[in-house]
Homo-oligomer: A and B are copies of this chain.
Amino acid sequence: MATSMNHLFITIFLMAAYTAIAETNMLQDLCVADLSNDPAKVTPEDFYFIGLANAAATTNSSMGSAVTGANVEKIPGLNMMGVSISRIDYAPGGLNPPHFHPRASEAIFVLEGRLFVGFVTTSGKLISKHLNKGDVFVFPKALLHFQQNPNTATASVIAAFDSQLPGTQVVGPALFGANPPIPDDLLAKAFQLGPQEIQKIKGKFQPKK
C-alpha cells in the first residue's frame, strides 16, 4: 500500500471510530453507552427502563397499534448485550402491519388478548396461527411478519429480540412513504397497479419530514 493509500486508510478508520460497532463476542463485562465510560460511574439506572409498564396509546396510529422499544436507545447498559425487548399494544381490530427486522429474530409472549400472527418464508409459504393470552410464537430472522388483533378487546405482547436495536422496516410506509418518493411507475410495475392507484396509496403514507 502506498503512503497516500495508508493515509486514506487511517483517515477512514479514524472516522469510522465514531460510528461503527458490531455485536458478537464481547470484549468487556459492560459497555454502557455513555460518554465517560468510567466503570465507577455505572449505576443500576443504566440497566433499567420503566416505559413498558403501561399500554401505549394506539389512537394516533392508522393501524391501531403501537410499538414501544426497550432497546439500547432507552437502556444504555444494553450496549453490546445482543438482546432487547419491545411492548406492542393493539387496539380492537388493530394491526402491526407486514414488516421485518433486518437485524433480529423475534419471539413474542401474549400479555393480554388474542392475536392472529404469521410470517412468510422466502419460498412464499405463510406460517400463521391464532394466539391466546400466554402463548409464545417465533418470527425467524429478517422475514416478513405481522400481528393482527381480531377481537373487540385490546391486546398486548412482550417481544424478545436477539439484537440491542433490531431495526424495523414496515413495507407500506417504506415503499409508499419513502422520502424522497420511489417513482410511481416503479411501484406500479412492482405491484401490478396503475399509476393512479399508486398515487392513492402514497396519499395514505405521508413521508416523514
A residues near B (Cβ < 8 Å) are 1-2, 5-6, 8-10, 12-35, 37-40, 42-54, 62-63, 70, 72-73, 75-85, 87, 95, 97-98, 100, 102-107, 109, 111, 116, 118, 120-129, 131-144, 146, 148, 158, 160-165, 167-169, 171-183, 186-187, 189-193, 197, 200-201, 204-205, 207-208
27 contacts between A and B (CB under 8 A): A10-B39, A14-B19, A15-B35, A15-B76, A17-B17, A17-B19, A21-B31, A22-B27, A25-B103, A26-B141, A27-B103, A28-B165, A44-B127, A48-B137, A50-B136, A63-B190, A83-B83, A83-B105, A95-B189, A102-B141, A116-B183, A120-B182, A124-B207, A126-B181, A144-B174, A192-B205, A197-B197
- Beyond the given pairs A82-B105, A124-B177, A144-B169, 19 more chain A to chain B contacts, judged by CB atoms under 8 angstroms and listed by A's residue number, are A5-B73, A12-B33, A13-B28, A15-B35, A15-B76, A21-B31, A22-B27, A23-B25, A25-B103, A27-B103, A29-B143, A47-B140, A50-B135, A53-B133, A70-B109, A82-B162, A120-B169, A160-B161, A193-B200
A178→B124 contact, CB < 8 A: yes
CA distance A157 to B30 in the complex (A): 23
Residues of chain B within 8 A of A49, CB atoms compared: 135-137
CA distance A139 to B81 in the complex (A): 9
B24→A18 contact, CB < 8 A: no
CA distance A9 to B131 in the complex (A): 26
- Count of identical protomers in the assembly: 6
CA distance A78 to B32 in the complex (A): 23
A85→B97 contact, CB < 8 A: no
Residue of B nearest to A209 (CB): B3
CA distance A6 to B147 in the complex (A): 26
A104→B83 contact, CB < 8 A: yes
B19→A72 contact, CB < 8 A: no
B19→A31 contact, CB < 8 A: yes
